[in-house]
Amino acid sequence: MKIDFKKYSDGLVPAVIQDVDTHKVLMLGFMNEDAWNETMQSGKVTFYSRSKRRLWTKGEESGNFLELRSATVDCDNDTLLIKVHPLGPVCHTGADTCWDEKNHKQDFIYYLEDIIELRKKVSPEESYVARLFHKGINKIAQKVGEEAVETVIEAKDNNDDLFLNESADLLFHYLILLNAKGYRLKDVADILQQRHAK
């Protein structure tokens, strides 16, 4: 990969940092050739800090490292897109991203809940989720019951693939039911946590 570190007088190129799982943009940093080489060697994203005037590995103090997953350079060879697995919040403020956006990397389920919330607002002709919401709570609850029965049936057989797919269908429709009742999975998890603490 050819990176044009000499294009700018300071020898720095922008590095856009993106979560490899959620595709959320997490932060923007700058790299010189030494920072790039250190990132490639260590597997932890390292920048050149313009304020500290030295190499700086993200997480060197907090432990919230950015584990390198992939890197590409743009068509002008002067901007990097670096995909990472973040080990904790990215921003120094404690936020998930430097734009104070939530990043549901920790649990894809929470991201899926956001998608369900968005889909229920579109036309029923455009989305299966919207069609279920349009049919009402009874239909949603019925669908959860159907998926539960299918999951139980597959659990008694020896086809792991079918069992896991039916389990995914059940969980997906349960998330829709929770949304229809005005709740999220976190509300259920909070109850389980309270029970565990007793």
Q: What does pTM read for this prediction?
A: 0.58
- What pLDDT does 107 receive? 66
Q: Which domains does the chain have, with CATH numbers?
A: 13-103 (3.10.20.810), 107-197 (1.10.287.1080)
- What pLDDT does 106 receive? 52
Q: pLDDT digit string (tens) for 63-111?
A: 999 999 999 999 999 999 999 999 989 999 999 999 998 886 556 787 7
Average pLDDT (1-11) is 92
The answer to whether the beta carbons of residues 83 and 18 sit under 8 Å apart is: yes
- What pLDDT does 23 receive? 86
DSSP structure class, residue 140 = H
Give the Cβ contact number of residue 58 at 10 Å: 24
The answer to whether the beta carbons of residues 170 and 147 sit under 8 Å apart is: yes
Average pLDDT (40-64) is 95
Pair type for strands 66-73 and 80-86: antiparallel
